Structure 1
Amino acid sequence: MFDKHRAIVNSIEGLSDEEREFLYSALNIHGHVCGGMPMGYVAGLAALKAFGMKRERNMDSMVILNIGDGHAAGCFADGVQFATGCTFGKGLMKKEPKGKWTFYLINKKEGKAVKVTLRNEMLHKAFSAPFITEYRSKGINPTDVPEDIAVPGFKRPFTLKLEDVVEIEGPFDFKVEKGKPCFKLVECSVCGHVVAENYIKMEDGKPVCVDCTNYKW
């Protein structure tokens, strides 16, 4: 699998060494070859370039995704995560479900954002391709789609100009509430599990976790 993924990624032109490595990582983590993840990856790169930003390595930017659930958009989200470095695990990506292939890339330090929208033509093309119409819509797993069908769809977003893939609005003002991460641990007095301090309730003077509390959050 890894050799196949490397060959596919290496066959794509126009990427920097870093962009290529993160795309390779994205493909390995995503687990299958499709057109959705690369569309998200290219959209994420476009957002960074429009902002003049580099891929996030700390906590200075975030993404708000307007995709929802159950409409073949999870692949897109994986691509956006790997391109921007704004991941769910770091708390730098969240969903505001609207069923749309749009997202906001936010520079938290400057209080600015750009809105990125996948162009209608890209979506219609992707959803009318054999990958969807002949395989995925009929319940066939993405890993069972033939390579000669899946690989062209994967490579297609990289053959186009960024402006033909996405529409970008901004930058414009965008306020984000700033918070500090919690680095303190507390043991629940009931179950004994270690809990982040900011998720503890005090009951009768004792620390209690969400599972054991008598109160509703």
Structure 2
Amino acid sequence: MNDDRQTLLKALEFHGHRCWASVAGVRVGLAALRVLEVKRSGGRQLHAFVEIGEDHGGMCFGDGVQSATGCTLGKGNLEKTPYGKLAVTVIERASNRAIRVSYKPTLQKQIGASAFMTKRGQGIEPDDIPEAEQLELVDLIWNAPEADILTLGEVFQFERDWLPEVIGFVPCGACGELTAKAYLRVVGEKHVCIPCSGYER
């Protein structure tokens, strides 16, 4: 089994069900890595802006991007931008070289007519849909020629001063809960967490 297919299978396991949008996210992420000639980010070597926004049926795309690129919400090197689009900009932090890759609407009629999407429209949860119907969409997106489903932008310079990662936690001086140093606030003589400080941020 090739490495890309292994990445796809791991992404679908992480995501929790098999759907077209998560597969599209994997395809977009892998294409960005290939064009930038970089490896998956185990640390914070890469940064990604995924344009999915919130509260729509295609947000699964973000999990595919995370799995493929290694840019994750947990590491802080994945950010959401609220455009409601299936697109990502991936940046190599050391060089600030970047590329934006988006998913084309080419297959949307086939996706919409699929058994999986028909059942989703009826309110059936994705993991309650038969595996064969899930895999029908996985294969549709995975096997499509890249030029048919992806738009690869030009590599460009992304201008940003990257902040250093602040390492370390200390107990809040009021509630005692561990708090990342960058999130402590000074109140009188104490270093306290944001909720205990009374500040909004």
TM-score for the superposition, normalised by structure 1 = 0.86
| Cα deviation code 1:74-133 (max 9, x no counterpart) | 21111111111111111111101111111101111111211111012134432343321x
Partner of 1:13: none
More displaced, 203-212 or 140-149?
140-149
- Given that 2:86 and 2:103 are in contact with CA atoms closer than 8 Å, whether structure 1 keeps it comes out as yes
Question: How much does 1:216 deviate?
Answer: 3.3
SS at match of 2:72: coil
Amino acid at match of 1:141: E
SS at match of 1:170: coil
Structure 1 unaligned spans of 5+: 1-9, 11-15
Taking only aligned residues, the RMSD between alpha carbons, in angstroms, comes to 1.6
User: Counterparts in 2 of 1:58-97, with a 5 A limit?
Assistant: 58-97=43-82
Distance in 1 (alpha carbons) for counterparts of 2:114 and 2:20: 10
Q: Say if 2:143 is the partner of 1:136.
A: no
Amino acid at match of 2:89: Y
Partner of 1:28: 13
SS at match of 2:154: strand
Equivalent pairs, count: 201
Please, which of 27, 30, 34 is the counterpart of residue 42 of structure 1? Answer: 27
Question: How much does 1:199 deviate?
Answer: 0.5
| Percent identity of paired positions between Structure 1 and Structure 2 | 31
- Given that 1:185 and 1:197 are in contact with CA atoms closer than 8 Å, whether structure 2 keeps it comes out as yes
Partner of 1:100: 85
Please, which of 131, 137, 141 is the counterpart of residue 157 of structure 1? Answer: 141
Structure 2 unaligned spans of 5+: none
| Cα deviation code 1:143-194 (max 9, x no counterpart) | 1212332211111222122111210111011122311112232221111112
Amino acid at match of 2:134: A
User: Counterparts in 2 of 1:184-195, with a 5 A limit?
Assistant: 184-195=168-179
- Given that 1:36 and 1:76 are in contact with CA atoms closer than 8 Å, whether structure 2 keeps it comes out as yes
Classify 1:80/1:186 alpha carbon distance in 2 versus 1 (closer, same or farther; 3 Å): same
Please, which of 81, 99, 107 is the counterpart of residue 122 of structure 1? Answer: 107
Q: Say if 2:191 is the partner of 1:207.
A: yes
Distance in 2 (alpha carbons) for counterparts of 1:123 and 1:96: 23
Distance in 2 (alpha carbons) for counterparts of 1:68 and 1:167: 19
Classify 1:176/1:164 alpha carbon distance in 2 versus 1 (closer, same or farther; 3 Å): same
TM-score for the superposition, normalised by structure 2 = 0.93
